[in-house]
Structure 1
């Protein structure tokens, strides 16, 4: 049988045809066959589509424990496109490292912990579409186990723990180490422009008391870089939420999310999940959204739920829920809308069931950005 006519088309014609597709369709076409995969990942084609607008994708990765329990010969990042309500797969088989573990992403670059040949750990920055990657200077295994990885603009990475912080800017190709001096282990730290924000528990072993701390990247060299961000007008804003955590919002806004306590008692139950929004310029809070009662009933039986996201979209997962809840503030109505993501791929269902998933949102995923 004669080969398909598509194989006889000149490469420039193929590039012209496929360059008219949206990026999400180009990603899907790469999975059709080896021929299209090679055609749509060639440097010349990547250059042609480099001006296409970015995507906003929700990326899901297994936890470190689950990742090593089920080693896959073809590691993949599963991403969800909220605009098309569609799942996509971004293969990582171009990386020459065993068990790469994605931990963060920014502007189309995905950052992973990888095992190097000398049994050491290092962060790797890669672009799943162009298949380019760069290995950052080596770090000890303790940083990969206990450090939170924060990324901003290209070549700016921060690994943060309670006691110390490592900063990499790419200018001198090494890590700068500074003392953190935080009062407790930082919860859900985020990087907003040149500022790092984190929640810290300054309470007692019997009762948590969460406060918001911040520092600038330029102030990291100071032994007293962190300051408590608070105003008298805020009142009990930190006391009304159970297990609060931070998520990066749009521009200079951050989101604080947790269970809304029904009372101020020690073991108070929650009536719903509340999303508060802080404007870092005016230092004023407002309510961005609260989960509808019929949706929250699915989360009531779980003692813990996971929050992940960024920008104007936030997702929630919990044990035995089996699907994701999405808060979407990107609609033209000017208010957040709630909906279920119940088309989770079968391969990911066990992650949601045992609550072992660790998820993040690509706030502005431009898969054309370079990793070098």
Structure 2
């Protein structure tokens, strides 16, 4: 490449040429050679792309048993529009074993080991290779807390008993969460947190939906149990339900559809229900096809992640991801498989939505 005629072109010309490419193609071009990588990561070029719409990706969290020190850490992401996998190098982070857990507004949040062996949340942009470290926390938070991120750099770490809140400056604030049980798959929708809690007995689970605004949480006020007589047995028909942030003011509840109300009932498929938070009405958003569900029947566990109009499903020994995609213009959910999952897809994949942009750190 040193003798290539491309070196004779002015930098402004090269920037103009590459700025007309889609973001995903720019990411691929970074790997072509040193010249392209330096040019496509330069501040002047990043500025040209700063107003581009985000690239909607699905990022993977590393499995628990793979959280070891890696000399070349990566963020593995899947682009549903091009059906391709990418790797964003995280070697610009000066930490051991960074574990990505959440994302918001183009920034990725990771747990990382600080020099004093405590855990810290680090926010970074893998595209601009910039990062910032939040005040440190104890290791117990990274093991038991769920990280929820919102706008303006606000972060929540939620457990059954305590919630930590970071507003973008200063220190973490601690509040009592006072949930009836360990929250399952909490989600942050604008100014409110929603979580499923088991209010049943040790012998039989009984899931209910709870909500609390961020302002109420900061005042250590109680959570509200959301229920309506019209909902009927909506929580009883699903086995091991999970919540996922939907589009707009909606949340999704995903679980195995029970074949009966008996204690150890088998599941006939996986069901996606959608709750409109304005009207508090449920509707069925998607139902996994029987031939696809047959691959999950033999798996003792399956994981669900995603958000908006895309939901991913992984299972032990399934070897690939099942995706429910409702992003088409008709709004009709489509089901498909995706191959090439890192690690051969034999384990349980977890992840989150990553809207890749060239956003600056707050």
Is 1:214 matched up with 2:176?
no
In the alignment, what sits opposite 1:354?
Answer: 347
> 1:128: Cα distance to partner?
0.5
Secondary structure of 1:44's aligned partner: helix
In the alignment, what sits opposite 1:85?
Answer: 83
Secondary structure of 2:131's aligned partner: strand
Secondary structure of 1:7's aligned partner: helix
CA distance 1:2–1:97, shift in 2 (3 Å): closer
Moved more, 36-45 or 185-194: 36-45
Note the 1:201-350 alignment, pairs <5 A.
201-344=198-341, 347-349=342-344
CA separation in 2, counterparts of 1:318 and 1:132?
34
Q: Normalising by the residue count of structure 2, what TM-score does the alignment of the two structures yield? A: 0.97
> 1:224: Cα distance to partner?
3.0
> 1:256: Cα distance to partner?
0.1
Aligned CA-pair RMSD: 1.3
> 1:2: Cα distance to partner?
6.1
Deviations 1:87-135 (A, max 9, x none): 1111111111111110001111000001111211100000001111110
Q: Any conservation in 1 of the 2:70–2:96 contact (CA below 8 Å)?
A: no
Moved more, 26-35 or 205-214: 26-35
> 1:259: Cα distance to partner?
0.1
Secondary structure of 1:219's aligned partner: helix
CA separation in 2, counterparts of 1:196 and 1:128?
27
CA separation in 1, counterparts of 2:11 and 2:222?
55
CA separation in 1, counterparts of 2:236 and 2:296?
21
Give 4+ residue runs of structure 1 displaced > 6 Å after superposition.
none
Equivalent of 1:149 in 147, 150, 171: 147
Q: Any conservation in 1 of the 2:272–2:287 contact (CA below 8 Å)?
A: yes
5+ residue gaps, structure 2: none
Deviations 1:183-208 (A, max 9, x none): 10000000000000000001111100
**Count of residue pairs the alignment pairs up:** 362
Is 1:35 matched up with 2:35?
yes
CA distance 1:73–1:215, shift in 2 (3 Å): same
In the alignment, what sits opposite 1:107?
Answer: 105
Q: Any conservation in 2 of the 1:104–1:150 contact (CA below 8 Å)?
A: yes
